Chain A
Amino acid sequence: MKILEEGKGKLIGWRDPDENRQWVLEHKSRKLEDKRMTAADAVTRFVNDGDFLVMGGFGHIRVSMILIYELIRQGKRGLKMAGKTAVHDSDVLVAAGCVDEIEVAYTFGHELRGLSPASRRAAESGKLKIAGEISNAGYQWRFLAGMMGLPFMPSRNLLGTDTLKHSSAKVVEDPFSGKPICLLPAAYPDVCFIHVPRCDKYGNAQIDGIMVEDFELSRAARKLVITTEEIVDEDFIRETPDRTAIPFFLVDAVVEAPFGSHPCLMPYKYYFDEEHIGEWLSVSKTDDGVKQYLDKYVFGVADFAGYLEKIGGRAQLEHLARVEHYQEQMRAPWVDARKDGGK
């Protein structure tokens, strides 16, 4: 195949398919065993400085915040991150200094809330390196190629744009149609965190609502830590096997974590805590503010239970559950401020 164009973005997460296959054969246990452990133990055992980290969920939907806070608490450094719709997850990790390089599909934004002060500051000052650019579908299909044990996935996006020029993709002549086609390199996360509503102690996990790209990610990742709102019996899983999104042998650790995605949204469980996210977006405008935030909510508490008390405890969490179920209006100071400012 003739190469027509090559992106100059840095290739991160790629592996030779035979090398990864061998690694899977040697390292991924097929034994049904209890994998429950604490968030602290999971991060200590399965995350190394410099790892290529990919978060499940959608940036601020069903992301494992409990593990993000734990990465910060343990002072992990030099992580390379997939900016695949990275929102609150990457913003906090970049601000805390854990991540020093990111490949961007969507980063530096909080969707309707506006842009992310802390991680933009890191990018604009050069502190955070941009490995390359890609799109959401492009990133997702990198993981699809990884999951399939293939070196790349052909696609018809990115073509003709600067996004392609700054990506790690290549354009070749398709031997079937004769037209130019984009080849997205496979990506294998070193470590992936996925938050789910329920799983058993072995890691057999169900996901409610949209899957985003967690099906592909869970299968492409080398190390996979599942955090879960609830641990259920193995029988519960086996009675409805059509509901299993992630089978146990892909999973390395299971961490029980009710409200483990706070302040992000957990479908059918709790809505965004816009008071808390608003506080973050406000204080993270300065490095001092970031430090104060982390001192208060991460270093100033022993664990995630302590954090949940600090953000308002049961009363706040029950409010967020009622908002998710359309029983109460969200409390969002940034919304009120914007409306007043707009008049």
Chain B
Amino acid sequence: MADELKYNGTELLATVASRMLEDNKSVFVGTGLPVVAGMLAQKTHAPGLLIFFEAGSIGPIVPQLPISVGDSRTFYKAVAASSMHDLMSMCQSGYADYGFLGAAQLDARGNINTTVIGDHAHPKSRLPGSGGANDVGSFANRLLIIMRQSRRSFVEKVDFVTTPGYLSGPGAREKAGLAAGGGPYRVITQYAVYDFEEETKRMRLRSLHPGATVEIVRENSGFDIIVPDKVAASPTPTAQELRLLREVIDPRGIVIGK
């Protein structure tokens, strides 16, 4: 392997995630890795990727990594610098093809916790809360979740359902009143990509990253992951993707340096 094709886990995560974003579709991105993946997709296979930021930016060409999803970098060369009401309303009415979120804890049905570890009244660790995550999980047609996988983060039961995945299973979102047909689409971790089995809406292994195995995936999960007979190999970063990540998108390693 050529020297420049060595990469760290976060760079792999960012490239795998970026390949999932389709050209000429819209994506609502959250802070951190989702922004990096969106920027990378825009600079490679998806120049027509329509990026939304919750604070009101519509269709920017993000010039450098924003520190905040309301940062002036998020509305650089945007088609509109609008408002949260405008943006969120459009997402609620069906203009968000993809939503893209991180998570602190995730369960087998893609329910996300970013609110609290431990009891809500007496938290072990207080986290920031929903932010726009509940809105993205409720409104996006397909939700992408990107996170680091471990027994602590992939749990049988999340301490707090901040953002809806498939809730208790098939039909539960619609029964709760959420928009029909939405929900988690893929989960991307440092080991693998997962989708959701249609009949159970439980997480299923879809592809393994280089070096990862079914055993590693299972060891690093607090719930049973469905493993099909055939598991694909995840795409690996190209030299161009790595160059863009390191030299253009995040030259100071704020997100990918970790």
Report Cα–Cα, A320/B122, bound state, in Å. 40
Known: A112-B254, A162-B162, A209-B75. A156 touches B179 (CB 8 A): yes
Stretch in A210-218, A252-260, A289-297 touching the partner:
A210-218
Of the candidates B31, B132, B134, B139, the one having the most CB atoms from chain A within 10 angstroms of its own CB is B134
Q: Are B129 and A111 in contact (CB under 8 A)?
A: no
Measured in the bound complex, the distance between the Cα atoms of B111 and A324 in whole Å is: 38
Is there a chain B Cβ closer than 8 Å to A19's Cβ? Answer: no
Cβ B83 vs Cβ A61 within 8 A: no
Tell me if B85 counts as interface (CB < 8 A to partner A).
yes
Contact, CB under 8 Å: B72 / A166? no
A-B contact count, CB below 8 Å? 213
Chain B interface mostly:
loop
Bound CA span A245–B107, Å: 43
Interface flag for A27 (CB, 8 Å): no
Contacts A57-B70, A124-B123, A210-B57 known; list 4 others, CB within 8 Å: A136-B135, A160-B178, A163-B134, A210-B56
| Chain B 53-73 interface mask (CB, 8 Å, partner A; 1/0) | 011110000011111111110
Residues of A that sit less than 8 Å from B by CB: 57-61, 83, 85, 87, 104-109, 111-113, 115, 120, 123-124, 126, 130, 133-138, 140-141, 144, 155-163, 166, 171, 174, 179-182, 209-216, 265, 267-268, 271-272, 274, 324, 326, 332, 335-336, 338-339, 342-343
Subset of 17 A-B contacts with CB under 8 Å: A61-B70, A61-B72, A105-B131, A123-B123, A136-B54, A136-B135, A137-B92, A138-B130, A156-B92, A160-B177, A163-B129, A180-B177, A210-B81, A212-B84, A213-B85, A267-B75, A335-B254
A136-B258 contact in complex given A58-B70, A160-B172, A272-B67, C-beta closer than 8 Å: no
Binary interface profile of B, 105-135, with partner A (CB < 8 Å = 1, else 0)? Answer: 0000001000100001011111111111111
| Interface residue from B56, B133, B160 paired with A211 (Cβ < 8 Å) | B56
Give the residues in chain B near A130, CB-CB below 8 Å.
Answer: 120
Check if B127 sits within 8 Å of A108, measured CB to CB: yes
Report how many residues on chain B are interfacial, defined by Cβ distance under 8 Å: 64
A10 → chain B, closest Cβ, in Å?
13
Q: Which of A137, A182, A342 contacts B253 (CB 8 A)?
A: A342
Is B153 on the interface with A (CB-CB < 8 A)?
no
Whether A58 lies near B81 (C-beta < 8 A) is: no
Query: Nearest 3 CB-CB pairs, A to B?
Result: A160-B176, A180-B177, A109-B128
**Residues from chain A with Cβ under 8 Å of B189 in the complex:** none
Q: Report the separation of the CA atoms of residues A45 and B160 in the bound assembly, to the nearest whole angstrom.
A: 41
Query: Would A211 and B129 be within 8 Å (CB), given that A112-B254, A159-B138 are in contact?
Result: no
What A residues does B131 contact at CB under 8 A? Answer: 85, 105-106, 109, 135-136
Q: Are A211 and B83 in contact (CB under 8 A)?
A: yes
Among A163, A179, A336, which residue has its beta carbon within 8 angstroms of that of B162? A163
**Cα-based distance from A215 to B258 in the complex (angstroms):** 38
B46 at interface, CB cutoff 8 A: no
B210 within 8 A of A: no
Contact of A58 with B68 in the complex, beta carbons under 8 Å: yes
Q: Kindly list chain B residues whose C-beta atoms are within 8 Å of the C-beta of A60.
A: 68
Q: With a CB–CB cut-off of 8 A, which chain B residues contact A338?
A: 253-254, 257-258
Chain A positions within 8 Å of B200 at CB level: none
Task: Determine the chain A residues whose CB is within 8 A of the CB of B126 once the complex forms.
Answer: 108, 120, 123-124
**B21 proximal to A (CB < 8 A):** no
Bound-state Cα–Cα, A342 to B252, Å = 12
Q: Nearest Cβ distance between residue A314 and chain B, in whole angstroms?
A: 22
Q: Which of B63, B82, B132, B139 has the most CB of A within 10 A?
A: B132
Do B83 and A137 touch across chains, with their CB atoms under 8 A apart?
no
Assess the A163–B163 pair: CB atoms within 8 A: yes
8 A Cβ contacts from B148-201 to A: 160-164, 167, 172-173, 175-179
